């Protein structure tokens, strides 16, 4: 089984592990977010209660529990340390990189898959959040697998991971995949696709995964949970700015330019080429572009803005850039060995 993964898989895995695990526990938890997200799993363990998140002894309805469960498991294995608090994010970041590689290999080819994975793992914002004790990487992996599964017509896998995304960060676990898929169908006018998506049984699977925690929380805390979690942390934060000083329509333009570095310089060219000069890969590339654009538009409209919110753009952008790099290599007629040498040289500089 492992032999079928190929040398590219293991090379991507090794490079990602080195980047993401280097000095993982070497610095203290950074304010304002890491200490808070590392504290809640401690209190779950202290109270021996893993349904209702707490912070400083008080019930906390900010996020669903998936990330806290992962950190609590990490604490059980490694002890309560900075390394243990960040370990789940790093593992899931490596998994996300490998998911991009495997899907890129299946959708395009080996070289494009590997290039896309290495673009992702070396992007500044991705590897920063992959080394942080925050919920973003858990959400990213679930959304990425859900949407890549849709492209590859693995629909039940898509619904399963949409459910896990909902247990990680709330309704956006279903909203984002739904909005992206619907936008793709709308643009392509391929309404017949909906007949093959197994929607009734898929939504049942989604509900089985996503709803039990929400039902349990409502039964335990009633309207306080609904009003705070759904009302404030989802609806109010979308419609009203939590940080009024950063409500700028262009906020995410510099965030993306910096966060996707060192690949920013070819990002727009890659997107344009993928939409205007691709042939056999056009359907997959169109979906990846729509995925990135929907995320960007959603958070540009949202009144509460944080740097980490657009992280779900990075996997599709990395895959588009990986496809473009492969196209450049083909056009330049370089040998495969020199292509890997150039890419590894870039990674060494980064």
Q: What is the pLDDT of residue 61?
A: 80
Q: What are phi and psi of 244, to 5 degrees?
A: -55, -25
Tens-digit pLDDT profile for the chain (350 aa)?
345 677 889 999 999 999 999 999 889 998 788 999 999 999 999 999 999 898 888 888 888 999 999 999 999 999 999 999 999 999 999 999 999 999 999 999 999 999 999 999 999 999 999 999 999 999 999 999 999 999 999 999 999 999 999 999 999 999 999 999 999 999 999 999 999 999 999 999 999 999 999 999 999 888 888 877 776 556 666 666 666 665 678 889 999 999 999 999 999 999 999 999 888 899 999 999 999 999 999 999 888 788 899 999 999 999 999 999 998 887 776 555 555 555 555 555 45
User: What's the CA gap between 167 and 247, in Å, rounded?
Assistant: 28
- Number of structural domains, the chain? 1
Q: What is the pLDDT of residue 34?
A: 92
Q: At what angle do helices 34-47 and 66-78 cross, to 10 degrees?
A: 70
Q: What is the pLDDT of residue 2?
A: 47
Q: What is the pLDDT of residue 309?
A: 92
CA dihedral 94, 95, 101, 107 (to 10 degrees): -160
261-265, Cβ contacts within 8 angstroms, sequence gap of 24 or more: 261/123, 261/124, 262/122, 262/123, 262/124, 262/346, 262/350, 263/119, 263/122, 263/123, 263/317, 263/318, 263/321
Give yes or no for a contact between 101 and 113, defined as CB atoms under 8 angstroms apart.
Answer: yes
Residue 293 backbone class (left: φ over 0; alpha: ψ -120 to 50; beta: rest): alpha
What is the pTM for the complete model shown?
A: 0.91
Match 């898959």 to its residue by tokens. 113
**Which positions ≥6 away from 267 have C-beta within 8 Å?**
260, 317, 320, 321
Give yes or no for a contact between 64 and 213, defined as CB atoms under 8 angstroms apart.
Answer: yes
Q: What is the pLDDT of residue 35?
A: 92
Helix residue spans in the chain (DSSP H):
6-21, 34-47, 66-78, 82-107, 110-122, 124-129, 136-151, 155-169, 172-188, 193-196, 199-221, 223-225, 237-239, 252-259, 264-276, 282-301, 314-332, 336-349
In terms of Cβ atoms closer than 10 Å to its own Cβ (0-12, 13-18, 19+), residue 55 is middle
User: What's the CA gap between 199 and 185, in Å, rounded?
Assistant: 14
Q: What is the pLDDT of residue 145?
A: 98
Give the domain extent around 256: 2-349
Closest CA to 157 of 105, 201, 126, 194: 201
Q: What is the pLDDT of residue 31?
A: 74
Q: What are phi and psi of 54, to 5 degrees?
A: -125, 155
Q: What is the pLDDT of residue 241?
A: 60
User: What's the CA gap between 247 and 305, in Å, rounded?
Assistant: 7
């Amino acid at each position: 089984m492992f032999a079928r993964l190929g040398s590219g898989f293991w090379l991507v895995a090794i490079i990602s592990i080195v980047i993401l695990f280097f000095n993982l526990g070497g610095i203290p938890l950074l304010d304002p977010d890491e200490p808070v997200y590392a504290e809640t799993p401690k209190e779950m363990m202290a109270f021996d209660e893993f349904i209702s998140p707490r912070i400083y002894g008080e019930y906390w309805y900010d996020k669903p529990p998936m990330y806290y469960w992962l950190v609590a498991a990490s604490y059980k294995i490694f002890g309560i340390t900075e390394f243990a608090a960040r370990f789940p994010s790093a593992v899931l970041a490596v998994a996300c990189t490998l998911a991009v590689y495997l899907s890129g290999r299946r959708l395009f080819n080996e070289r494009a898959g590997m290039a896309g994975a290495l673009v992702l793992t070396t992007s500044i914002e991705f590897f920063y959040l992959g080394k942080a004790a925050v919920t973003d990487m858990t959400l990213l992996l679930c959304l990425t697998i859900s949407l890549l599964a849709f492209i590859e017509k693995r629909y039940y896998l898509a619904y399963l991971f949409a459910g896990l995304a909902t247990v990680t960060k709330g309704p956006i676990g279903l909203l984002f995949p739904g909005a992206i898929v619907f936008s793709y169908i709308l643009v392509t006018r391929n309404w017949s696709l909906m007949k093959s998506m197994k929607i009734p049984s898929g939504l049942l699977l989604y509900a089985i995964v996503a709803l039990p925690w929400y039902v349990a929380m409502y039964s335990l805390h009633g309207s306080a949970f609904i009003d705070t979690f759904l009302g404030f942390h989802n609806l109010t934060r979308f419609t009203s700015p939590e940080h009024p000083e950063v409500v700028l329509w262009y906020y995410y333009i510099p965030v993306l330019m910096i966060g996707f570095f060192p690949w920013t310089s070819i990002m727009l060219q890659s997107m344009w080429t993928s939409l205007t000069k691709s042939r056999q890969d056009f359907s997959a590339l169109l979906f990846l572009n729509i995925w990135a654009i929907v995320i960007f538009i959603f958070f540009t409209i949202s009144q509460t803005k944080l740097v980490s919110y657009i992280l779900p753009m990075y996997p599709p952008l990395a895959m588009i850039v990986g496809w473009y790099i492969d196209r450049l290599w083909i056009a330049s007629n370089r040998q495969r060995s020199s292509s890997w040498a150039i890419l590894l040289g870039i990674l060494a500089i980064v």
